[in-house]
Chains A and B, each alone.
Chain A
Amino acid sequence: MKDLLTIKNLTVGLKKKIILNDINLNIKEGEVHVLIGPNGSGKSTLASAIMGLSPFKIIEGDILLENKNITKLPPEQRFLLGISLVFQNPPPIKGVTLQELSLQIQKKLKTPSELIFFSKEVENLKNREINVGFSGGEKKIAELYQISLNKNNRLIIFDEIDSGLDLEKTKLVIDFVKKQSKKNKIAFLIITHREELLKLLNPSKVEVILNGKILCSLKDWRMVFKTIKKYGYEKCKTCTKTLKYKNE
């Protein structure tokens, strides 16, 4: 399969502090990658850097989407090229309804997406201000609905795939991921802490990030989880069996 997202030696900083250090990552089309790591390890920062969000500054390295260098592109252009990010904690936007934003998104894309997700569930939310007073589940539904409007989707990043969703809806999301990765060759980068989700997802690879570095990228996610469960993330620093990015 073709390379979809390639990150080469990416170093990202925030106010003189290095947050991501020499990150390398390769995601092929249709692959489902899971990114795990302890709190503050750099998972959400990596998602933001791929999306091109401020205030993070790229100090070194490149981000390529289908061999096109997008390192300097603003987030809106990355979205139009097919990168979508599902936020963990989307901000409330007072006075702007979900319907208004959806229309703006559709206007930017010119032609509508054929694949609208959670279209029924979102009906009750459309006339409400975006994320204002939304429950955790409602936020997630609104997020998934918005990103499914992107007909150009090539890579979807989920920052915490299941937060706020009940089991039934989580399964719907997982079905969506599985179908779209197979049928439309959309790739997914999923941040999660939950092993049971991996069982359902059966990802192509799992990446472990620690202190802003990806230490491991393996197909055998079961082994990675087992190791972390038994020894904790610190083990990843010394583990010879699995680790170091070039392993695969």
Chain B
Amino acid sequence: MSNKNNNLYYLDHKALNITPPQGVEILLSKEAYQKYPWTKKYFGKEPSDGYFIWVKKQPKVPLVTCVALSQEKIEQKMSNLLVIEPHIDAISNVSCLALQSGLCGKHIATGKIILKEGSSLKYHDLHTWGQGDYVEPNYEFYLEKNSRLEYRYQLLKSPHDLNINNKFYLEDNASIYSEVVVEGIKSDININEELTLKGKNSQGALYLRIVASKKAKIKALSKITALNESKGHLDCRGLLLDKESQIDLIPELNNKNPLSSLTHEAYLGKINNEEINYLRSRGLTQKQAIDLIVNGFLHLSS
């Protein structure tokens, strides 16, 4: 991957390229921690690895960030912070990847994403890993009043272990649309999503699409808690491609306010043989039919 196309290209433990667009400041997390004392409450302890992105004025282009592993058995422990100032609409395209398969690296990212009042963020996160990698993104999203988040995560190539922990906290009138699309092959995957509707008229929808094959084991807990008058919806679906794989879907709704409304839909099953037959009768091979059905299953449109 060329680092010229990125506003931030972070390889192993170094930022090789930092070229922020106008209105945006990008620093290493340890620099931000020293330069801006207010960041300390978000970082907690002093970070050693990771990046800080501060969107101060309306950017004209999407932010493009790439974090990559290149060395064998490398251990990345990122501590990241993204702050969007009030009434700014930002787009952040993030890719996290291993440059080679077989590195057996570790990528652990802990981050906070702050959407200030009236701001919006489209956050698209693509992951491509090697079969031996361990990956653990732990993110907290704080949505202040009237802010909006569109979060899309897609796993393009699964690592050996993947632990996703996302927490979303919404204030008054804030809203979130989240989709997590994971195709696990020979992987052990844990997904933990928690949406807390703190503010009045806050609303959120969490969509989860999971496909498991070749002895993949996937466990997904999606939880919505309504503390105030709010609306929330969960939609979790899993597709098993063989008998050796396993998916556990655990949708959880926790309503602590009688004026709020929480709903969920869940589905877990295998591919319908009738659908495969149908596509084969149109000239597709069994593999092409399954690929088309799986792609369709993973495709979410909003």
Q: Give the dominant DSSP class at A's interface.
A: mixed
Is B280's CB under 8 angstroms from A104's CB?
no
**Given A53-B277, A90-B278, A91-B278, does the pair A129, B284 have CB atoms closer than 8 Å?**
no
Contact of B298 among A53, A93, A95 (CB under 8 A): A95
Is B295's CB under 8 angstroms from A75's CB?
no
Is B281's CB under 8 angstroms from A51's CB?
yes
Is A76's CB under 8 angstroms from B285's CB?
yes
Contact of A74 among B274, B280, B295, B296 (CB under 8 A): B280
CA distance A80 to B295 in the complex (A): 24
* Smallest beta-carbon distance B275→chain A, Å: 5
Give the residues from 76 to 121 in chain A that come closer than 8 angstroms, CB to CB, to chain B. 76, 79-80, 84-85, 87, 90-91, 93-96, 100-101, 104-105, 108-109
**Given A101-B282, A104-B284, does the pair A96, B293 have CB atoms closer than 8 Å?**
yes
- A96: chain B residues at CB < 8 Å are 292-293, 295-296
Q: Give the dominant DSSP class at B's interface.
A: helix
Interface: B257 (CB within 8 A): no
* Smallest beta-carbon distance A179→chain B, Å: 23
**Given A91-B274, A94-B297, does the pair A108, B283 have CB atoms closer than 8 Å?**
yes
Interface: B279 (CB within 8 A): yes
- B295: chain A residues at CB < 8 Å are 95-96
- A79: chain B residues at CB < 8 Å are 280-283
CB nearest to A75 among chain B residues: B280
Is A150's CB under 8 angstroms from B296's CB?
no
Contact of A150 among B280, B283, B293 (CB under 8 A): B283
CA distance A84 to B280 in the complex (A): 11
| Interface Cβ pair total, 8 Å cutoff | 69
CA distance A91 to B289 in the complex (A): 13
- A146: chain B residues at CB < 8 Å are 282
Is A104's CB under 8 angstroms from B273's CB?
no
Q: 0/1 per residue, B249-282, Cβ < 8 Å to A?
A: 0000000000000000000000011110111111
Interface: A133 (CB within 8 A): no
- B273: chain A residues at CB < 8 Å are 54-55
- A84: chain B residues at CB < 8 Å are 281
Is B283's CB under 8 angstroms from A53's CB?
no
**Given A94-B297, A95-B299, does the pair A104, B292 have CB atoms closer than 8 Å?**
yes
CB nearest to B276 among chain A residues: A54
- A150: chain B residues at CB < 8 Å are 283
- B279: chain A residues at CB < 8 Å are 93, 101
- B275: chain A residues at CB < 8 Å are 91, 93
CA distance A42 to B124 in the complex (A): 52
Would you give 6 A-B contacts (Cβ < 8 Å), ordered by A?
A75-B277, A76-B282, A76-B285, A79-B282, A91-B274, A93-B279
What would 6 more interface pairs be, CB under 8 Å, given A51-B281, A87-B278?
Answer: A54-B277, A84-B281, A91-B274, A91-B275, A95-B297, A108-B283
Chain A residues in the interface with B (C-beta under 8 A) = 51, 53-55, 74-76, 79-80, 84-85, 87, 90-91, 93-96, 100-101, 104-105, 108-109, 129, 146, 150
